[in-house]
Structure 1
């Protein structure tokens, strides 16, 4: 089995897609796929499909969607040239309280992303920034768009999608930090310009953008970036920037006043701490 979540939903058995086209059946498969090899309670599936207003036939309807998925799985299993001992019920299992999608020895882009990200974080902790950047780039390359972008998401999936987006942003923060530590500030500017427009209140990305601009001799633009973020935070949330970002701004100001582009060690440490996930 292959499970693809980080973009469009793509689940296949023996290379044959078992992803249904019907919206609610897709929701059921998506929730099972996100929690592959774990029991998904029937109540969670009902909440996903109907939120707080399920019909009286909700449990029966969920069973119908499971049967539809098993039909697709059966077709995929039968397509194999080799004899298959497994049945659809072995792949999509009924267990006390719910259902479990058994991935076996298959692949999952979520698991690959988590494995590569963890390797990148370990390399960061060890001070091997080149390896960290490599692992984290590989992890982020698994994303082809927002998670489950083609699935109508209910409450359960919305929570999972937000969680996955946070893990992606964490990996992105750490990859950029690694590349900044490698002196790649100029090559990061175009990407960071796009990112701060996409995430206008994300302080870590703003700090990294400010640092990249400052190191590229663009001190005024770095200070402008800070002011834009501050204005946005005050206007939208009634908040001032975090202490570490204010410290970074003061450091850039003082470096310019002293005619020095270097970042004091204390301020570099503040930026590194801000990117810890």
Structure 2
């Protein structure tokens, strides 16, 4: 069985994705997925399904019915996937056993971590590929068709923040690959949506500067400076002020890295290839990173 929550809650067992019908079933599965591979107590499930003060007298029996129906849907009548944790003969809670490859949220976070590690190793092409694959898994708001509960709302907020961080990292990777022009429109839209995010503003400034728009990069900084001063009464952080100073001084080290060797045309073969010492070729210049690495 496979599960998707980066959008509507869906299951896949065979060829197609399907959704659970009744809202209480979706809520139960969503809460168990929020705590995948962890035991969720019966009391916690009752609170999530009905609220602390609204559970009917038959709530415990209803929960057992929902668990039974969910097991039927999962093809898990033996209770090997949706596991009952017991004390004596009484159910104390339930645990949903989930492999990372079966759950889109877990797989998304795996890919994001792989992308970040590639960025740390200064392999932006690989990082961009992993991060694009991760972001392509999103179909909408997390748990889009699940009634809100404390656990679901908390996990949805966390996943949305993870998505924003993945977008940031993917833009870093694209900038590291010299794709500053390609990401400009996206950066402008994200900055308008999140005007107080300084690291995002720094990426926009860098992309504008690398695109030959120094004046626009400086204007982007002034807009943020005014916004922070008027709304919060604070100054931009030292890293952003440092980037502004470097752009103001037309720091050449901020310019885009050279395109990868595979993207450059091969030079024409010389008529005579002189023999040179193995160490005569100067090392390739290191590519400057985005704001966080260029301080």
- Please give the TM-score of this superposition, normalised by the length of structure 1: 0.81
Q: Deviations over 1:86-140 (max 9, x none)?
A: 4163332221432112336861111211221121122111111111111111111
1:1-277 equivalences in 2 (<5 Å): 1-14=1-14, 19-51=19-51, 53-55=52-54, 57=56, 60-61=58-59, 63-75=61-73, 77=75, 86-87=76-77, 89-96=79-86, 97-103=92-98, 107-255=102-250, 262-263=253-254, 271-273=291-293
The whole-number CA distance in structure 1 between the counterparts of 2:189 and 2:100 is 38
Q: 1:104 to 1:134 in 2, by over 3 A?
A: closer
Q: Secondary structure at the match of 2:249?
A: helix
Q: 1:274 to 1:68 in 2, by over 3 A?
A: farther
Q: Secondary structure at the match of 1:90?
A: coil
Q: Secondary structure at the match of 1:100?
A: strand
Q: 1:137 to 1:106 in 2, by over 3 A?
A: closer
How many corresponding residue pairs? 259
The answer to whether the Cα contact below 8 Å between 1:70 and 1:88 also exists between their aligned partners in 2 is no
The answer to whether the Cα contact below 8 Å between 2:36 and 2:95 also exists between their aligned partners in 1 is yes
- Please give the TM-score of this superposition, normalised by the length of structure 2: 0.76
Larger radius of gyration: 2
CA-based RMSD: 2.9
